[in-house]
Each structure stands twice: as C-alpha cells, then as structure tokens.
C-alpha cells in the first residue's frame, strides 16, 4: 500500500490515538505512516464493545439478583480476567473465585473490599452498591 493510500476513516479513537502502518513512500521504500482509522476496523471495534456492554449488563443483573458479587460486574467494566485481577490484588485466583459469590463477598473484611475498590478505581461504597458512572 502506498503511504498516500493509508485509510483515514473516522473512528471513535480518532481523538485518542492513531495507528502506525507500514507503507511504501514515493521512492519505493518502506516507511511508517499514521492512520486515524479504517472503516472495517471501526465496525469490528463496535461489535467488540457491544459484546462487552452486553456482558456488563448480564453481570449487573446477576449481581442485582444475588447470584454473584459486584466483583463480577467490575471485572467486566475494567476488562479484566481472573489472572489480571489476581496480579493487581495480590490474591490467588481461587480466592477471587470465592469472592465472586455474593454470600462470601458480603462477609469479606473491609481491608479486602478496599483492595478490590483500589484496583477497580472506585470507593468501597461504589463497589458494594455498583453506583458508578459507566460512561
């Protein structure tokens, strides 16, 4: 692809970041150039975000129904998995799995809840009540 042909389609990341692409310059040499986005990539991102938003909504309903703890919701909100959350909290994955149960979470010491709140960048009250700005 020629450097002048690199797509510059508008995307949700337009004002956030640009992607480096390899292209051929006017001298036939490989070079790098910035792209603000590609329509196909934008659509793929939209599908991925729709899936994330759906998983967050399902997690929120499960927490409200008492099927699991707010940790499940906040993991989705912060795009974390067990391994990531374990590395940030210093807890074992099996401990986090236990804490994902509503009955276990409700009995956790304040120190442990604070550890989760710090990782999720919310207050302990927001963690317990899931009162955060999702935008």
* Domains assigned to the chain: 3-37 (no CATH), 41-129 (1.10.260)
The larger pLDDT score, comparing residue 62 to residue 11, is at 62
Q: Is the pLDDT of residue 67 over 60?
A: yes
66 within 8 A of 102, measured Cβ to Cβ: yes
Would you state the pLDDT for residue 12? 65
49 burial (CB, 10 Å; 0-12 / 13-18 / 19+) is: exposed
Mean pLDDT of 70-92: 97
Q: Is the pLDDT of residue 115 over 50?
A: yes
Would you state the pLDDT for residue 135? 47
pLDDT cut 90: percent of the chain above it: 60
Q: Is the pLDDT of residue 108 over 80?
A: yes
Q: Is the pLDDT of residue 98 over 90?
A: yes
Residues facing 34 on adjacent strands: 20
Q: Is the pLDDT of residue 66 over 80?
A: yes
pLDDT cut 70: percent of the chain above it: 93
Strand runs (DSSP E) across 68-121, as ranges?
Answer: none
The larger pLDDT score, comparing residue 57 to residue 24, is at 57
């Amino acid at each position: 692809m020629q450097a002048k042909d690199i797509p510059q389609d508008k995307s949700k990341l337009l004002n956030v970041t640009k992607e480096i692409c390899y292209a051929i310059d006017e001298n036939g040499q490989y070079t790098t150039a910035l792209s603000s986005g590609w329509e196909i990539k934008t659509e793929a991102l939209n599908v991925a975000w729709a899936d994330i938003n759906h998983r967050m909504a399902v997690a929120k309903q499960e927490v409200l129904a008492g099927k699991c703890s707010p940790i499940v919701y906040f993991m989705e909100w912060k795009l974390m998995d067990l391994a990531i959350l374990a590395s940030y909290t210093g807890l074992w994955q099996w401990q986090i799995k236990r804490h994902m149960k509503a009955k276990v979470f409700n009995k956790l010491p304040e120190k442990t809840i604070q550890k989760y709140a710090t990782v999720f960048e919310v207050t302990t009250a927001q963690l317990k009540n899931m009162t955060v700005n999702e935008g």
